[in-house]
Amino acid sequence: MFKDPAITLRCDCGAEGRAGFGERWTCGSCGRVYDTGRIPESDYRAVAALNRRYRLIGIGMVGFIALLVLVTAITQQLVPIIAGLGVSMLLWFLYLKPLLHNRHRKAVAGVARKWKLRPEEVGGE
């Protein structure tokens, strides 16, 4: 359902790039080659699972808000629809989503910060 997350790589020269798990990335500035296959697969799968959970929780919250609006619309209560939608959107964007995002970011950082890829040796494959 969800695509696996790309890995952001920072070269020693300061350039950045993105690659999928198990792919090689060549720095466009200095030519160093990084192999994301060296990342422990269990760690990468843990990050992918955290991303799926984060997205599913977000979709679930939006679905719940939509369900509340639908129920209110079926009962034909116009004022509560407008007020409820405004309040629920305000709560979602100002409080719930940032809270959820920060928790997700900290959880991913706990796993991914351990990855220290070194460039491959030139001609030493």
The model's confidence at residue 17, banded by pLDDT at 50, 70 and 90, is very high
pLDDT surpasses 80 at 125: no
Reported as a single tens digit per residue, the pLDDT across 38-48 is 888 888 898 89
- Mean pLDDT for 81-106 is 86
pLDDT surpasses 90 at 94: yes
- Mean pLDDT for 44-62 is 89
Phi/psi of residue 11, each to 5°? -75, 160
Alpha helices in the chain (DSSP H): 41-74, 78-91, 97-112
- Mean pLDDT for 73-95 is 81
CA 70, 74, 80, 82: dihedral to nearest 10 degrees?
60
The pLDDT score that the predictor gives to residue 124 is 46
Q: Output the CA–CA distances (angstroms, integers) from residue 4 to 11, 39, 44, 52, 91, in the order listed.
A: 22, 14, 9, 9, 29
